[in-house]
């Protein structure tokens, strides 16, 4: 603009000023380009909290080191969509000399349960005049898994003070934790019986020796089975049934471990097993259960609008187009597809003959042969209905106990703006199907308790204590 003005008004001073500014800008650009070629940054992010809960902030430390010449930089740690800034700032402006490190400390709060992935750090480099800038993206991946609210653990510890569950069985083989020997009966004396086991009071009446017989009772090993199928994950109100199931699993595990029950957990869905932890009472077992439950998939938001149907003209146009020829797979492709599917049916070193809950039951029963077991199942009986029925039949045939805590989907949908006749009919049909499934499971000896969004594990522990203890 100054050059144009100097030409129009024939002003030499304006021309000199414009020329000097142009030369300065060109020189600054050349210097900045040279500095950018020498620029180099290393970023390192550290998550300072080993265990992450929804209601707790996550402390993050970001260190960026300048490997090149001194630069004026703006450093920003790119936040994932599933977190919000709690304290501090993830952005800092600083002049870094060669070899100097910039430290950024801040904390974020997770907004949903599941995997939180930090992927990159942005560094914006500015020249000394402030005329030019260039943004550099540094890949720096950090991952942390956010669990449900810590309130579940506190409620579990409070529940331990109120509730105790002891479910025992005759131990043919020693498990992990046994009680004292319980008196079972009297039999005839056999040479070799211990002197202290002889029933001396009967000697004077029957004039023969009898021996007291004891049975060793053991705490029954318990596996918590959490259904993570699609129906358990769907929600329109923000509270998914799978999240409620995680709350209940933590509370139940806390109560069972407090009573020296070997306790484990299995996560499964329609395809197969997500993860499993064998029953145990070893030190740190509750922490292992907590880590296993972290792998449960996150909820699926079902509140979005349905997909828009194509316009009639577009539909007709698609129909008129030539349809592609039918594809026929070759034998090699079919074999490769089947081998890929078979990989999803394997679980930690052994191959399942059946997927989902049925495979878990088969493996658990085979491992615990001649040992009584208890299964606590949390499921809505929708996505994995058939597999659950077959698993309950296997438990009944092997004389194992099964307890079912089942939520109803419509209780988790929250308030609706309007209620339609079609919606009520769907709800009635779903509830009728659920009742038929429960009736079938009851015939197999399954103890069933219906749970809602506000129910806690106390409802389930009281049923176990009343019916099985």
CA angle 381, 387, 390 (to 5 degrees): 110
Name the more confident of 25 and 458: 458
pLDDT over 90, % of the chain? 17
Residue 309 pLDDT > 50: no
Name the more confident of 53 and 305: 53
Residue 159 to residue 377: CA distance in whole angstroms: 20
Name the more confident of 297 and 167: 297
Q: Give me the mean pLDDT over the 11-19 stretch.
A: 66
Q: Locate CATH 2.60.40.10 in the chain.
A: 47-147
* Residue 183, token pair as written in the block: 């008196």
Residue 10 pLDDT > 70: no
CATH T-level topology, domain 220-302+332-467: Rossmann fold (3.40.50)
Structure confidence at residue 317 (pLDDT) = 42
User: What confidence category does residue 417 fall into, taking pLDDT thresholds of 50, 70 and 90?
Assistant: low
Residue 96 pLDDT > 90: no
The CA distances from residue 194 to 179, 213, 461, in Å, are 21, 11, 40
Cβ–Cβ < 8 Å for 108, 142:
no
Structure confidence at residue 312 (pLDDT) = 41
User: What confidence category does residue 308 fall into, taking pLDDT thresholds of 50, 70 and 90?
Assistant: very low
pLDDT digits (tens, 9 = 90+) for 294-304: 888 888 876 64
Find which of 58-72, 152-166, 183-197 is predicted with most confidence, using mean pLDDT: 58-72
User: What confidence category does residue 176 fall into, taking pLDDT thresholds of 50, 70 and 90?
Assistant: very low
Find which of 105-109, 131-135, 151-155 is predicted with most confidence, using mean pLDDT: 105-109
- Report pTM: 0.68
* Residue 207, token pair as written in the block: 């004039």
Residue 323 pLDDT > 70: no
User: What confidence category does residue 107 fall into, taking pLDDT thresholds of 50, 70 and 90?
Assistant: very high
In this structure, what are the phi and psi dihedrals at residue 250, rounded to the nearest 5 degrees? Answer: -65, -45
User: What confidence category does residue 15 fall into, taking pLDDT thresholds of 50, 70 and 90?
Assistant: low
Residue 296 to residue 152: CA distance in whole angstroms: 16
Q: How many of the other CB atoms lie within 10 Å of CB of 244?
A: 25
Structure confidence at residue 337 (pLDDT) = 56
Q: Locate CATH 3.40.50 in the chain.
A: 220-302+332-467
| CATH number among 1.20.58.760, 3.40.30.10, 2.60.40.10, 2.60.210.10, domain 47-147 | 2.60.40.10
Give the range among 242-251, 347-356, 360-369 with minimum mean pLDDT.
Answer: 347-356
Q: In a 3-state reduction of DSSP, which class is residue 392?
A: helix
The mean of the pLDDT values for the chain is 77
Give the range among 40-44, 118-122, 176-180, 402-406 with minimum mean pLDDT.
Answer: 176-180
Q: Which of 145, 158, 154 is nearest to 53 (CA)?
A: 145
Q: Give me the mean pLDDT over the 326-350 stretch.
A: 51
pLDDT digits (tens, 9 = 90+) for 208-246: 888 887 665 567 888 999 999 888 888 876 678 998 899
């Amino acid at each position: 603009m100054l050059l144009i003005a100097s030409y129009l008004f024939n002003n030499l001073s304006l021309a000199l000023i414009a020329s000097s500014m142009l030369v300065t800008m060109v020189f600054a650009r050349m210097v900045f380009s040279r500095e950018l070629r020498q620029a180099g940054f290393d970023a390192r992010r550290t998550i300072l909290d080993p265990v992450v809960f929804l209601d707790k902030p996550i402390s993050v430390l970001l260190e960026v080191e300048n490997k090149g010449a001194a630069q004026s930089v703006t450093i920003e740690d790119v936040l994932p969509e599933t977190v919000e800034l709690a304290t501090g700032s993830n952005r800092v402006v600083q002049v870094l000399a060669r070899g100097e490190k910039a430290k950024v400390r801040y904390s974020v709060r997770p907004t949903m349960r599941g995997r939180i992935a930090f992927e990159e750090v942005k560094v914006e480099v500015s020249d000394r005049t402030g005329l030019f800038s260039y943004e550099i993206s540094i890949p720096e991946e950090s991952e942390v898994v956010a669990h449900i609210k810590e309130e579940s653990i506190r409620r579990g510890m409070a529940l331990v003070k109120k509730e105790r569950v002891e479910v025992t069985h005759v131990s043919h083989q020693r498990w992990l934790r046994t009680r004292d020997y319980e008196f079972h009966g009297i039999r005839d004396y056999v040479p070799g019986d211990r002197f202290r086991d002889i029933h001396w009071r009967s000697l004077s009446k029957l004039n023969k020796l009898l021996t007291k017989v004891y049975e060793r009772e053991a705490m029954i090993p318990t596996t918590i089975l959490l259904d993570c199928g699609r129906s358990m994950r769907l929600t329109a109100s923000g509270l998914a049934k799978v999240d409620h199931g995680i709350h209940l699993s933590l509370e139940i595990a806390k109560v069972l471990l407090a009573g020296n029950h070997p306790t484990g957990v299995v996560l499964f869905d329609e395809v197969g097993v997500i993860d499993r932890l064998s029953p145990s009472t070893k030190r740190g077992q509750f922490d292992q259960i907590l880590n296993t439950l972290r792998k449960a998939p996150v909820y699926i938001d079902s509140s979005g609008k349905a997909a828009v149907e194509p316009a009639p003209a577009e539909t007709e146009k698609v129909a008129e187009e030539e349809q592609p020829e039918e594809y026929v797979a070759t034998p090699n492709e079919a074999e490769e597809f089947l081998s890929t599917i078979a990989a999803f049916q394997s679980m930690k070193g052994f191959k399942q003959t059946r997927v989902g809950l049925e495979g878990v039951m088969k493996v658990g029963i085979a491992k615990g042969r001649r040992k009584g077991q208890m299964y606590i199942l949390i499921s809505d009986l929708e996505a994995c209905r058939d597999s659950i029925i077959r698993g309950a039949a296997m438990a009944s045939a092997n004389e194992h106990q099964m307890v079912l805590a089942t939520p109803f989907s419509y209780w988790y949908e929250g308030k609706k703006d309007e209620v339609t006749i079609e919606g009520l009919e769907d709800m009635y049909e779903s509830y009728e199907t659920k009742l038929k499934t429960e009736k079938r499971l009851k015939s197999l000896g399954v103890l069933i308790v219906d749970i809602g969004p506000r129910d806690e594990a106390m409802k389930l522990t009281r049923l176990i204590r009343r019916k099985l203890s």
